[in-house]
Amino acid sequence: MFARLIGLLILVLLAAALASWLGAQPGMLSLEWLGWQVEMRTSLAVALLVVLALLLLFVDRLLRGLLQLPSWLGRNLARRRTDSGHRALALGLMAVSAGEPDEARRQAARAQRLLSAPHLTDLLSAQAAHLSGDHNAAARYFTSLTRDSDTAFLGHIGLARLALEKDDPGTALTAARTALDIRPKSALAARQVMILEAERGNWSAALPALSVVMRAGEQDDAEGRALAHQKAALAYLEAEDREAEDLEAEDSSGDARDAVTIRRMIASLQTALAAWPDFWPAALRLADLHGEAGSPKKAVKPLETAFRNMPHDDLAARLAALWNVNEGSTVARLIKLIPDRGQRADEGRRVVAEVALEHGLIGEAGRLLDEIDETRRDAAAWRLAARMAAVNEDSAAENMALRRAGEAPRPRRWQCTSCQLLHESWQSHCGGCSGFATLDWQRPDGVTPLIGTDAATRAPARRARPPGTVERG
């Protein structure tokens, strides 16, 4: 503001100086035209010429403004209409986020009337129709989005979601695969494809989609762990499928299993263990395959690694059979595999103590059990203490241990991390919530000892069920 004032003052001073200079100049201007003669000072003639030029410029600007007035009014009205349409679009999206279907549909209709942007208005209309429960209208809007290359991806994603809500996994998978073909790096589409293929039992088809999700690299620790479990589950199940196909071919042809199939199964199980080192069922199956391939030494290594990661009675029993040494050497080797610290170290001591007790090494079993602090013992450790007390014919100690076993935390079980349902064995889908690869080998959380697992044990392993279905006893 101050700079403009200074500039105006300088301009006025320059104009005054110029006028003073012109007034001081001598000379006359004489003009004769049609019998008229006009004489004036030269400075006055120059001033009149300047005024005339300014007047002509003003008239030109005025005429231009009058001629452009209709188009200016039209542009102004269009701008106001566009602004109102964008405001309606924003309010509609807010209504969708807030869960207000009536307001969302009203604002969607207003936005469609004011804006000539079908991509945006159709998307809002689809979301509003879906929110209000009008799936047919939502399907029409999502289908219209698929006709344009810019919005086809969102249209197919929307159609996949609608198909899932209608319990039509086949249509949902087709739409999700089309969306993934449009955007091969989309984690959203790949996740839908992976889950739907897993529900159908197509483990080999689900693995590439899972790889897309994992390459997105935007997961927190919990999601990264869930993806690792899904990768391990798919690789393990892929090996199982190959084994089933090979056994079927063997029954029909009578030929023995070929080495190529065994190598592929071994590679799948190694992938599973690399993604989830605690997945001890994969280690047991891998050891079986190495033994079948005539490599018993190779069978030992995955079992030892699995025992270090997650001590388990089945791993200890399989290692004892493969080592084929005396009882003392078996216990000594297992002791070397016990983890260094933490809860798993206590579980390792308990497992090795069980082995020692079974072989009559009562002193070694007692030493290992004593290394587990009583405050950290779970129910399995206290039951072992009760067995040892019974061997020593100490009924008081046996009763005390059994009482403590009822109060202690329960040992690890296969538990769904989504619905907390317990399972007797690992399976691809939870028997309660149908979540894929949600079973984790952990101490039961969120349940009481009175909760049974009939639903889980009746659910066949690897059975795929649509999301939301629950098997009831």
φ and ψ at 41, to 5 degrees? -70, 150
Is 239's pLDDT higher than 70?
A: yes
Question: Which tokens sit at 310?
Answer: 């997650």
Question: Which tokens sit at 331?
Answer: 């216990």
Least confident interval from 15-24, 246-255, 279-288: 246-255
Task: Give, for 331, the enclosing helix (H) or strand (E).
Answer: helix 327-337
Whole-number Cα distances in Å, 238 to 97, 129, 174, 205, 233: 40, 40, 22, 10, 8
Question: Which tokens sit at 221?
Answer: 């620790």
**414: β partners:** 423, 441
**38: β partners:** 31
Nearest to 86 by CA among 60, 117, 63, 65: 117
* DSSP-derived 3-state class of residue 184: coil
Q: How confident is the model at residue 274 (pLDDT cuts 50, 70, 90)?
A: very high
Cα(298)–Cα(290) distance, integer angstroms: 6
Cα(155)–Cα(160) distance, integer angstroms: 9
For 356, half-sphere exposure in the C-beta direction (CA atoms, 13 angstrom radius) is 25
Task: Give, for 421, the enclosing helix (H) or strand (E).
Answer: none
Predicted local distance difference test score (pLDDT) of residue 397: 92
The residue with greater pLDDT, 447 or 175, is 175
Beta strand ranges found along 28-138 (DSSP E):
28-33, 36-41
The tens digit of pLDDT for each residue in 279-335 reads 999 999 999 999 888 888 889 999 999 999 999 999 999 999 999 889 899 999 999
Amino acid found at 336: K
pTM over 0.75: no
Nearest to 119 by CA among 148, 77, 93: 148
Least confident interval from 18-22, 236-240, 320-324: 18-22
* DSSP-derived 3-state class of residue 254: coil
Cα(249)–Cα(233) distance, integer angstroms: 24
The tens digit of pLDDT for each residue in 98-138 reads 778 778 778 888 887 887 777 677 777 777 877 777 778 88
Sequence-separated contacts (24+) of 25-31 with Cβ below 8 Å: none
Sequence-separated contacts (24+) of 101-108 with Cβ below 8 Å: 101/128, 101/131, 101/132, 101/133, 102/132, 104/128, 104/131, 104/132, 105/129, 105/132
Residues 369-391 have a mean pLDDT of 92
Q: Please give the distance of CA 35 from its chain centroid, rounded to a whole number.
A: 96
Predicted local distance difference test score (pLDDT) of residue 472: 27
Predicted local distance difference test score (pLDDT) of residue 78: 79
Is 16's pLDDT higher than 50?
A: yes
Question: Which tokens sit at 383?
Answer: 């039951």
37: Cβ–Cβ under 8 A, 6 or more apart, which residues?
30, 31
The residue with greater pLDDT, 57 or 141, is 57
Rg over CA atoms, the chain: 41
φ and ψ at 268, to 5 degrees? -65, -45
* DSSP-derived 3-state class of residue 124: helix
